[in-house]
Amino acid sequence: MSQLSYARYGKDNVRLYKVDKDPKTGIHTVVEQTVRILLEGDIEQSYTKADNSVVVATDTQKQTTYILAKQHPIDPPEQFAAIIGDHFIKTYPHIHAAHVKIIQHRWTRMTIDGKAHPHSFYRDGEETRVIEAVTRENVGVSIRSKIEKLLVLKSTGSAFHGFHRDEYTRLPETWDRILSTEIEAGWQWKLFKTVDELKSVDFNAAWKTARDITLKTFAEDDSASVQATMYKMCDLILAAVPNVEAVDYSLPNKHYFEIDLSWHKDIKNTGKDATVLAPQTDPNGLIQCTVTRKGIKSKLSEMKADRDTVLYTHKTMPPKYMTGKGRTVQEPSFAASTISMFTSKENRSIVTAAGMFAVRNLSED
C-alpha cells in the first residue's frame, strides 16, 4: 500500500513590477520582484482521487498576487510576503500553510549632472534581496531575509596558514592573498504572531545594516580565514538587529591563481611580484556557518548529542551487538569504525555528510 506523504503546490516565477508616483514632486519609485507561492493543507484528494474541488488554481494565486500588489505596498518584501500568506490562510479554510518566496531585483536611480533623476534607473549588478516567508494557521509568520549574488573581492588583507597538514596536503600557506566570494547571507527573524506585528519592524533598515556590516567587515577585517571573517559578520548583525535570532552565511571561494612567467625572459610574477593572475571557476572552496543567539538550539549541539549517544551505546552494550533506541547493529566493526571516524583527533575535520548519516542512524528510530 502507498500513501501521500508530502504535498505542496503553487505558482512560481510570478513577475511583478510596481511604480509609485509622487504627484507633488514628480519622483517615481520602482520595485521589481519575482514571486513564488506554495500552498499546503487538506489537498490530498486532488492527488489521490483526482478531485480538483480543493485546488486553488495556480492562476488564481497569480492573479491574487497582482491584486494584493495593487492594494498594498510591496516594499518591504518581508511585509508583502506576509500579506500574501495571510490572505490564503484566511480566505481558504482548507489551506493551513503558505510558503512565499520573493526575489527583489535591483533598480538604482540614475544620477545625471550630479542630480538624482526622478524616473530613470539602472541595474548595477545581479545582487538580489530574497525573502522566504511561511505563514501557518494558528502559529504565525516565520521570515528569513537574504542577500544573494553579491560578488566581492579584495586584493590583499587575507591570509590562510596554520591549517592542518598531512600526507594529503599540497596547499602552501599564505600570508597575503586575494579574497573573493559571492555572498549569500541570511537572517532569521523571531516568529511574528500576526501580520500587524511586522508593521513595527523596519525591514529595509535591517537589510541595509546587514549589507553594510557584511561589506565593511569584508573590507576591513585582516582575515585569518573565511571562517573567522564570516563569524564576525554574523556576530555584528545579531548585535545590531535585536529581532533577528540567527544569521547564516554561505561563501564560495573565487580563486585567483598566480601565473609563473619565468619561462619568458625570467619575468617575475609569483609571490610578492604577482600582478597578473588567472581567475578560476571550479573546483572551489565553500564555507558555511550559522550563528544564533545564546539559548537557541544549534546544529553543533545536536551533532554533539548524537556523538555522545553513540559513544555511550558503544561503551555499554555487549561486544556482539549495539542498540540505539530499539535498533540493533549486528556488525560492531562497522559501528566502531564509524565512531572512530567521528571522534578521532586526526579525522575530526573531515567528517562527511555520509559519515554523519551513518552515526545518526545508530541513535535514531
Q: Which residues contribute to the annotated binding site for 5-hydroxyisourate? A: 226-227, 253
Looking at residue 340, the DSSP 8-state letter turns out to be H
Contact 17, 51 (CB under 8 A): no
Looking at residue 186, the DSSP 8-state letter turns out to be E
Task: For residue 25, indicate whether it is catalytic.
Answer: no
How many CA atoms lie within 13 Å of 8's alpha carbon, on the beta-carbon side? 12
Q: Which residues are annotated as a binding site for O2?
A: 253
In whole angstroms, give the CA distance from residue 100 to residue 83. Answer: 10
Task: For residue 58, indicate whether it is catalytic.
Answer: yes
Task: For residue 325, indicate whether it is catalytic.
Answer: no
3-state DSSP call for residue 313? Answer: helix
Alpha helices, DSSP H, located in 159-263? 195-198, 203-220, 226-240
Looking at residue 145, the DSSP 8-state letter turns out to be E
φ, ψ of residue 232 in degrees (nearest 5)? -60, -40
Q: Which residues are annotated as a binding site?
A: 58-59, 160, 177, 226-227, 253
Cα–Cα distances in angstroms (integers) from residue 167 to residues 164, 170, 326, 329, 362, in the given order:
10, 8, 41, 33, 31
In whole angstroms, give the CA distance from residue 329 to residue 324. Answer: 8
In whole angstroms, give the CA distance from residue 107 to residue 211. Answer: 16
Q: Which of 18, 255, 290, 309 is catalytic?
A: 255
Alpha helices, DSSP H, located in 108-202? 195-198
Q: Give the closest residue to 350 by CA, choosing from 174, 163, 188, 198.
A: 163
What's the grid cell of residue 58?
495556480
Q: Which of 18, 28, 34, 58 is catalytic?
A: 58
For residue 162, count CB atoms less than 10 angstroms from its CB and return exposed for 0-12, middle for 13-18, buried for 19 or more. exposed
How many CA atoms lie within 13 Å of 217's alpha carbon, on the beta-carbon side? 21
Q: Which of 11, 99, 101, 254 is catalytic?
A: 11
Q: Give the closest residue to 152 by CA, choosing from 109, 211, 207, 239.
A: 211
Residues forming the active site:
11, 58, 255
